[in-house]
Structure 1
Amino acid sequence: MVWTAILTLPYAIGSPPDYKIGPLPGLFFTLAGLIHALIFYGNAYLLYPKLFNRRYWGLYLISVLFLLVGSFQLKHALLIQWFPEVNPDFTTNKFIYPPSIGIFVASLIYRKIIDRIHREKIRKEQRAIQLDSELKLLRSQINPHFLFNVLTNLIALARKKSNKLEPSILRLSDLMHYMLYESQQDKVLLTQEVDYLNSYIALQQLRFGDDVRMDIALPQVNETKNLRIDPMLLVPFVENAFKHGTGWINEPTIRIHLTVQDEMLRFNVSNKYDRSLDTNKDKHSGIGLTNVQTRLDLLYKSQYQLKIIEKDNLFTVNLVLKLT
């Protein structure tokens, strides 16, 4: 588009029959434009990429000099042979020498801009690959961590010879299906994540029955619309509440509230907590919460707020997340 404008410029601003610009006919400017295009693309796509380095620096300078001097000679020869009526003088020389140098400088700037864009594209692609690898690693860490805790729950039911063991295994089957298939997607429907939370909470209710007071409020399908979320993002908070909010805790209480309004998710999880009585705390404790915070940083950056508060024997997690 730019070169079309340059080549046809004399015919846009000149007057017939020669469409002159100053003393020179329009045809000369068109032919000179073709020479300038050769300088521009020859340097930008041939000389600069192949020779502009420490090894071939001298050869690059010689090639550029040859390219420019050759353009001077060619334009001068065109002027003498094709347009003998034009007398070469200082005015005509202004249209022979400076444009070649200016086009060469423009090609250098263009090449540097193209290289910068290319480097930035590669950097972004590498960063995307790195982020994808990090996310896959984080998800792979969540699954065995989560599964370990659920199996611990099932062992407790088996020891009690509880009739809740079979429905618990069925619930676990639903959870495993989600973990193995749905969680491999980049994003899942929020309804799927909520269903997963419901299954996990139901599994815990089968285990604890009335021993743990649960205050659960999760949104209905019509409230979540077609909003999407990173899979397995919310359950570590719930898992943490059941792991550290039960056991020897006096009158254990777990509160799980999730609301969605105007694409803004608000998730609140709280549980009674006594550090001195927490028999579930070990060197692996906190993996889930650390993991999910890292994922939030990678995926949502400034689109989330996470507050974790431990006060008055109450452990509370508040997550505000902008969904799309």
Structure 2
Amino acid sequence: MTFTRNSRLALIAFHTLLWSIYLLLPYAVSSAASGYKIGVMPGLFFTLAGLIHLVIFYVNAYVMYPRWLNQRFWWLYLLASVGLIMLSFRLKYQLLTSLFPEVLQASNAEKFVFGPSVAFFFLSIIYRNILNQLHAQRQLARQQSEQLRAELMFLRSQISPHFLFNVLTNLISLARQKSDKLESSLLMLSDLMRYILYDVNGRKITLAQEIDYLRSYIDLQKLRFGSDVPVTSEIEIDPGAYTSHIEPMLLIPLVENAFKHGVNVLENPEIHMYLFVKNGRLVFHVKNRFDVKSINLINENQGIGLANLRARLDLLYKNSHTLLITNTNNWFDVTLILDLL
């Protein structure tokens, strides 16, 4: 079974404490005048027998049971179990005849002397099964964690090429127009690339970083479209929320989608964005005008961005997010409500 170093040390300390209490019990509850007896058993015999029980417990729990209790060696486990218990009986009998012959004269002594060997053997079986169950649960949790990590890394790997494809398409448009905004756009793209390649690095980031990235993307789009596309953006955040952590590039697909579907086919496009964070809850609202003729395309194929966003939200914010998408009166409206973790 796999333990971390700290948990292994804690388990050893716990076992040591329990066995110490058990082995020293006669000296805590009895007196020297009675020979530290517990019932008919002298304290010294109780402790020596306890050491035999300790051997039974750990030999069965860590050697015999995990190695031999299977379809191939079950017969060996059965023989070893009987042999282990009989050996403990023999050792106890030798101790009694050599050092404590008076105990054998007591009525029902056999029950108290030899019965614990069987009891500790079955206790070790219970203990081993508990360990196996814990191991299976940890293995399952580890597999689920690795699967989640792999799915998340795959989804994150989709975001960057998708984003770059959209941005480069915008830059091509500026290049064709021989716009003097191209140089500024390239500098902004450089900053965004640095964010994607180095700042994110496969981990969650602060909300402040994500907002800076979002602003850079919006500014890049404004450079491309200028006054042709009215863009309204409003951000209102509790000061303490800037250090909250969030999945990187989680907000940008909503903005990308707005520019993708709300600009090219419209005579009078408009895009509005509102980001509010208060009491640990983030609300990001993006709305854009759309051409009613393209609504079927928007509904049926929302692109990699929104599909990727849904998948990441389900993985990382399963029960702590709401994604609302509506289209009414020529407005496409998306609202993301997220409880920051």
Pairing partner for 1:260 from 266, 270, 277: 277
Q: Which deviates more from structure 2 when the two are superposed, residues 277-286 or residues 82-91? A: 277-286
- CA deviations on 1:218-270 (whole Å, 9 max, x unpaired) are 24693533111111111011111110111122321111111111121111111
User: C-alpha deviations, 1:136-178, integer Å up to 9, x for none?
Assistant: 1111111111111111111111111111111111111111111
1:168 matched to which residue of 2?
Answer: 185
Q: Give the counterpart of 2:38 among 17, 21, 29.
A: 21
> Counterpart in 2 of 1:227?
244
- Equivalents in 2 of 1:123, 1:111: separation in Å? 18
Tell me which amino acid in the other structure corresponds to 1:4: S
The amino acid across from 1:167 in the alignment is: S
Q: Tell me the amino acid that sits aligned with residue 148 of structure 1.
A: F
- Structure 1 vs Structure 2: percent identity of aligned residues? 49
For 1:243 and 1:88, locate their aligned partners in 2 and report how far apart those are by CA, in whole Å: 95
Show CA shifts across 1:99-139 (max 9, x none): 11111111111111111111211222222222111111111
Q: Distance in 2 between matches of 1:130 and 1:37?
A: 41
Taking only aligned residues, the RMSD between alpha carbons, in angstroms, comes to: 2.0
Corresponding position of 1:2: 18
Counterpart residue identity of residue 176, structure 2: R
Q: Who is 2:262 aligned against?
A: 245
When the two structures are aligned, how many residues end up with a matched partner?
Answer: 324
Are the equivalent residues in 1 in contact too, given 2:238–2:277 (CA < 8 A)? no
**Matches of 1:262 and 1:223 in 2, distance apart?**
9
Q: Paired residue for 2:154? A: 137
**Inter-partner Cα distance in structure 1 for 2:133 and 2:292:** 54
What amino acid maps onto 1:176 in structure 2?
M
User: Paired residue for 2:113?
Assistant: 96
| TM-score normalised by length of structure 1 | 0.95
- Output the amino acid matched with 2:134: I
Q: 2: CA distance between counterparts of 1:20 and 1:282?
A: 83
* CA positional deviation for 1:310: 2.2
Q: Confirm or deny that 1:270 pairs with 2:287.
A: yes
* Counterpart contact for 2:26–2:37, Cα < 8 Å: yes
Aligned pairs for 1:103-122 (under 5 A) are: 103-122=120-139
Distance in structure 2 (CA, Å) of the matches to 1:25 and 1:63: 30
Aligned equivalents of 2:328, 2:183: Cα separation in 1: 38
Corresponding residue to 1:308 among 312, 319, 325: 325
Distance 2:283 2:295 in 1: 28
User: 2:28 maps to what in 1?
Assistant: 12
Partner of 2:198: 181
SS in 1 for 2:319: helix
SS at match of 1:265: strand
Answer with 58-67 or 298-307: which moved more.
298-307
2:141 to 124, 139, 157: 124
TM-superposed CA distance for 1:42, in Å, is: 0.4
- Is 1:322 aligned to 2:301, yes or no? no
Name the residue aligned to 2:50. 33
Deviation, 1:26, is 0.9
Cα distance change of structure 1 residues 246 and 200 upon mapping to structure 2, 3 Å threshold: same
Cα offsets for 1:13-34 (capped at 9, x unmatched)? 1222301111211111101110
Quote the Cα distance in structure 1 between the aligned partners of 2:47 and 2:260: 79
Residue-by-residue CA offset, 1:75-111 (whole Å, 9 max, x unaligned): 1221111112323454211112221111111111111
| Stretches of structure 1 lacking an aligned partner (at least 5 in a row) | none
Q: Secondary structure at the match of 1:321?
A: strand
Q: TM-score, normalised by structure 2?
A: 0.90
Indicate if the aligned counterparts of 2:237 and 2:276 stay in contact, CA closer than 8 A.
Answer: no
Q: 1:275 to 1:133 in 2, by over 3 A?
A: farther
Unaligned runs of 5+ in 2: 1-16
Tell me what 2:9 maps to: none
Q: Which residue of 1 aligns with 2:306?
A: 289
- Contact 1:247-1:278 within 8 A present in 2 as well: no
Q: Do 1:244 and 1:278's aligned partners in 2 also have CA atoms closer than 8 Å?
A: no
Any conservation in 2 of the 1:247–1:279 contact (CA below 8 Å)? no
Contact 1:191 1:221 in 2 (8 A): no
